[in-house]
Amino acid sequence: MRLRPPRSPLPLSVPALARAAMPVLLLACCLSCSSGGAVASGAPDGAPGVGDRLLPEAGNGGYDVSHYGLDLSYDPVGGRLSGTAVVSATATQSVSRFDLDLSGLTVGAVTVDGRPAKFRRFGTELTVQPARQLTRGDRFQATVTYAGVPQLLTDADGSHEGWFRTDDGALALGEPVGSMAWFPGNDHPSDKAAYDITVSVPAGLSVVSNGELAGTTTAGGRTAFHWRVTAPMATYLATVGIGHYDVTRGRTRSGVPLYEAVDPRSDDPRTAAAVKRLPEILDWESTLFGPYPFASSGVVVDHLPRGLGGYALETQNRPSFPGDSGPPAVQLDTLVHELSHQWFGDWVTPASWQDIWLNEGFATYAEWLWTQHEGGTSVDRSAADAFAAEATWAFPPAAPPSAAELFAAPVYSRGALVLYELRRAMGDRAFSTLLRTWPAAHAGGTADTADFTAFAQRLTTHDLTPLLRTWLYGKAKPAHL
């Protein structure tokens, strides 16, 4: 969920979402090269980008990642991050070189399968040339040693992502490409992987991340927290929170383990009241969307510097919320929204960024359902309000015109209206089946808009083509709801 940009710009880095408009700059600006010399040219290589329509330079071609092993150390006083990333992958074509996404940070060395590899930096691209050419189907491990002070990225809509430095630690938020601010990877939702994330911090601080806490070790005045993610996860959903937290463990009535890490200064009683209802919300959503897809759930609530962040994010199995960006820090409908993303966005992930409405449209519709469930505004009234709002009709939800509109109103409100109209056309029973079975149909994987529309059509004898042409792709506002 990226609904509210910050109050002031922060020119700390090349705009992450503007990279698509700067290919000449990225190719001309060599930031660093290995002492081993320049990477050779003329041989087959992986593409520095997957060709996403909105973010063509995001991600990389030529390989598929299966696992990230991150072993990191952080100094909150100086803001320095150092560590090693082991990227385990399979070549999807024969390549003599491949790219990883990494913004800022200084690379000390790169090896591939234990052998030194040549590398160079162009903008946010880390190009690696292994000692031997990789052939299609080869499994390999690229190990990158790096260090520096991670920075924030300024997106095309004026919002920020990446590594937020806090007064007692840090919080990493990475939608859509902010994960490259703190680890090298294939930074596109189409390539999901498992993770082991270990972060060493001064004793007395805590680290919270995705997945399950696999263990902690303390030595020499520092504590290392090891978090393990076994369910496939897109890079933009990875998070690390460092600081002082009040940690609460529990379970939902259906048995889902909970790990809730809340900054002790987040003392707004409305925040506590919202977080207290997390188990109830999760069980309620499970009745609508199918069994909760991950091994545990919870939240991270942290204080970010004022003017930065200001949005919640559906970081996998443990959504993140700002602790002081506006009262209340955690609103109940926002909690419903982010938890619903665990099915719509995290478990089944958009294949490209233009499919983001499959995340936000479903999550907005979940808010409408919850509000009605609570005895508030009906779904019909919520839909009518969205229909009446001028911002809803700026562009079709399945076709954001540029990266600057990636998180604009039509993606959310008009995306939800698509679902509202589908329910009316399909009928309650078929639509309820859609809500339960769509996440399971692409469990742990990715899907695009064409996958969804074909899936919906299979659940009904009603021809959905006119409806989808109007509500999903049409540029004009329909005459009536």
Q: Are strands 257-262 and 297-302 parallel, antiparallel or unpaired?
A: parallel
| pLDDT recorded at residue 322 | 85
Structure tokens that stand for 283 in this block: 């069980």
Q: Write out the DSSP string of 269-322.
A: HHHHHHHHTHHHHHHHHHHHH-S--SS-EEEEEE---TTS--S-B--TTS-EEE
Tokens 């919270």 -> residue: 208
Amino acid of residue 455? F
| pLDDT recorded at residue 341 | 98
- Beta strands (DSSP E) in 149-192 are 152-154, 160-165, 170-173
Spatial CB neighbours of 481, under 8 Å, sequence gap ≥ 6: 383, 384, 387, 417
Q: Are strands 246-251 and 257-262 parallel, antiparallel or unpaired?
A: antiparallel
Characterize 421-448 residue by residue with b for buried, 16 or more Cβ atoms within 10 angstroms of its Cβ, and e for exposed: bbbebbeeebbeebbbebbeebebebbb
Q: Write out the DSSP string of 38-57.
A: PPP-SS-B--SS---SS-TT
Tokens 């009928």 -> residue: 427
Per-residue pLDDT tens listing for the chain (481 residues) = 665 443 333 333 333 333 333 332 333 333 334 433 334 333 457 889 999 999 999 999 999 999 999 999 999 999 999 999 999 999 999 999 999 999 999 999 999 999 999 999 999 999 999 999 999 999 999 999 999 999 999 999 999 999 999 999 999 999 999 999 999 999 999 999 999 999 999 999 999 999 999 999 999 999 999 999 999 999 999 999 999 999 999 999 999 999 999 999 877 788 889 999 999 999 999 999 999 999 999 999 998 877 777 789 999 999 999 876 455 568 899 999 999 999 999 999 999 999 999 999 999 999 999 999 999 999 999 999 999 999 999 999 999 999 999 999 999 999 999 999 999 999 999 999 999 999 999 999 999 999 999 999 999 999 999 999 999 999 999 999 9
> What is the enclosing helix (H) or strand (E) of 434?
helix 428-441
| Residue 191 exposure: Cα atoms within 13 Å on the Cβ side | 28
Amino acid of residue 131? A
Q: Write out the DSSP string of 305-365.
A: -TTS--S-B--TTS-EEESSSSSSSS-HHHHHHHHHTTTBTTTBEESSGGGTHHHHHHHHH
- Burial category of 31 from C-beta neighbours within 10 Å (exposed 0-12, middle 13-18, buried 19 and up): middle
Q: What is the pTM of this model?
A: 0.92
Structure tokens that stand for 41 in this block: 């040219």
Order of strands across the sheet with 160-165?
152-154, 160-165, 170-173, 240-243, 206-209
